[in-house]
Every structure is written in C-alpha cells, then in structure tokens.
C-alpha cells in the first residue's frame, strides 16, 4: 500500500490532502519534529536527505512535493485535478506546480530565518543580531514577499483557481506558500482574493479529512 512518511507541521500535509481528494487508500507513518524543529534522523532510513514529504509506493521512494504530486496524479489521477494537455490551463498548472517551491517559498523561508535568529542568538549578541536581521527584512525580504503576494492577488483576480476555473493539484501545491504568508507575511493586508482562496480550500471536505488524519497543523492556522 502507498505509504506517506508524514512529518508533523510540514509540507507532507499537502500530500495527505491530495490523496484525500483522489480517494486513494494510503497508510501514514508518523514522525515528530525535534525541539529544534528539524526532522528526526529516522527519516534518513527512508530517504538520504531525511526530509518530508516522502512517499513509498510499489517499490518506489519519491521525495519533493512537486515530484510526489506529479507521480500521484499520473498514477492515480485518471485525468482528475489536472487540466487537459495542450491547453493554456495545463501550462498554468505546470507553472504553479513548480513556482510554489522554486520561487514562492524562498522569501517566506528567509522571513522565518531572520525572525528566529535574534531569538536564538546569545544574549550578549542579541541586539546586534536583531539589528542586522531587521535591516535584511526591511531592505530585502519584505519587499520580495510583498511582490509575490501582489502577484498571487493579481492572478487570482483573473480566475478562481491558480490554473483556471477548475480546482487542480496546483492549488494544493500553492496552499503552503499562501498559508505561510498568512501566518507570517501579512497576507491579510490588501490581498482579499488570496484570503478568499484560503477560505475556499479550508472549506473543502478533503482538506478537513487530511487535517484529521495528519494531526495538528500550525502553518497558517
């Protein structure tokens, strides 16, 4: 049976959601983050990088969110949650599927890093570290993040979902950046279309089932 190696509060929540949307049977092997928020070393027995998400299925071990989504849609989708080939929607689908991790998550990760660094710095160095991090946030990270959020807002003004008028796996992939932006990027300020997107996905029954099976999920919640 298909197995999801599920790390709490991680991108693997999207994999559970996709499987619930497709109605594919699966089992979950759970892993808990360490106090420093890193994945436990046990995940390295599944994949050398020891990160989540990762799935095992029919002798295959597949990591990386985009690759997992492509595999699941190709293997179990039967044409669902993906636009028809050779259409503008299919091209948009492919773009958003890869943009989510390739571009959108970079400023969000930097935002998290520069926010956490002062809190974890030695007490004597904390004022200096905070000053440097605040400068990086103001000059570099926050403007980039705003540019991405404005981009999402503009695209969602064109269509209800990222690839067009129909919900697809690209929307599942894009959920994590938008939830992270809501949690720590100020998405709620001036981005009503993006916030409405989050309301729509959170209202989906498959999303709720995935949360129930995956356990507590704090990103954007």
Pair (45, 126) in one structural domain: no
Pair (36, 69) in one structural domain: yes
On whether residue 189 sits in a domain, the answer given is yes
pTM for the full model? 0.93
Instruction: Pick the more confident residue, 210 or 8.
Output: 210
Pair (98, 145) in one structural domain: yes
Phi-psi region of 120 (alpha: psi -120 to 50; beta: other; left: phi over 0): alpha
Q: Helix 169-184 and helix 142-158: axis angle, to 10°?
A: 140
CA 178, distance to chain mean position in Å, is 8
The mean pLDDT of 75-82, rounded to a whole number, is: 98
What pLDDT is recorded for position 221? 39
Domains in the chain: how many in total?
Answer: 2
On whether residue 169 sits in a domain, the answer given is yes
Pair (199, 144) in one structural domain: yes
Pair (154, 180) in one structural domain: yes
For residue 36, is pLDDT > 80? no
Helix (H) or strand (E) holding 28: strand 27-31
What pLDDT is recorded for position 220? 41
User: Residue 164: beta bridge partners?
Assistant: 161
Instruction: Pick the more confident residue, 54 or 51.
Output: 54
Phi, psi of 27 (to 5 degrees): -120, 155
For residue 1, is pLDDT > 50? yes
Q: Which of 24-28, 45-49, 113-117 has the highest mean pLDDT?
A: 24-28
On whether residue 68 sits in a domain, the answer given is yes
CATH number of the domain that 16 lies in?
Answer: 3.40.30.10
CATH number of the domain that 135 lies in?
Answer: 1.20.1050.10
On whether residue 221 sits in a domain, the answer given is no
What pLDDT is recorded for position 9? 80
Pair (126, 67) in one structural domain: no
**Residue 48 domain boundaries:** 3-82+207-214
């Amino acid at each position: 049976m298909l197995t999801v190696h599920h790390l709490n509060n991680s991108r693997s929540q999207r994999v559970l959601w996709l499987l619930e949307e497709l109605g594919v049977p699966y089992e979950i092997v759970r892993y808990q983050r360490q106090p420093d928020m890193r994945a436990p070393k046990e995940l390295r027995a599944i994949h050398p990088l020891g990160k989540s998400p990762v799935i095992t299925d029919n002798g295959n071990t597949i990591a990386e969110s985009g690759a997992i989504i492509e595999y699941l849609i190709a293997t179990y989708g039967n044409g669902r949650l993906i636009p028809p080939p050779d259409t503008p929607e299919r091209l948009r689908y492919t773009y958003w599927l890869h943009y989510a991790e390739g571009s959108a998550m970079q400023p969000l990760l930097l935002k998290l890093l520069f926010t956490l660094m002062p809190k974890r710095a030695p007490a004597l160095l904390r004022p200096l570290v905070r000053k440097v991090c605040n400068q990086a946030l103001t000059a570099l990270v926050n403007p980039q993040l705003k540019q991405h959020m404005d981009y999402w807002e503009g695209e969602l003004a064109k269509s209800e979902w990222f690839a067009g008028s129909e919900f697809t796996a690209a929307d599942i992939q894009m959920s994590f950046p938008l939830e992270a932006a809501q949690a720590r990027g100020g998405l709620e300020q001036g981005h009503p279309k993006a916030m409405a997107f989050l309301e729509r996905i959170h209202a989906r029954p498959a999303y709720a089932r995935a949360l129930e099976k995956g356990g507590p999920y704090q990103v954007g919640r």
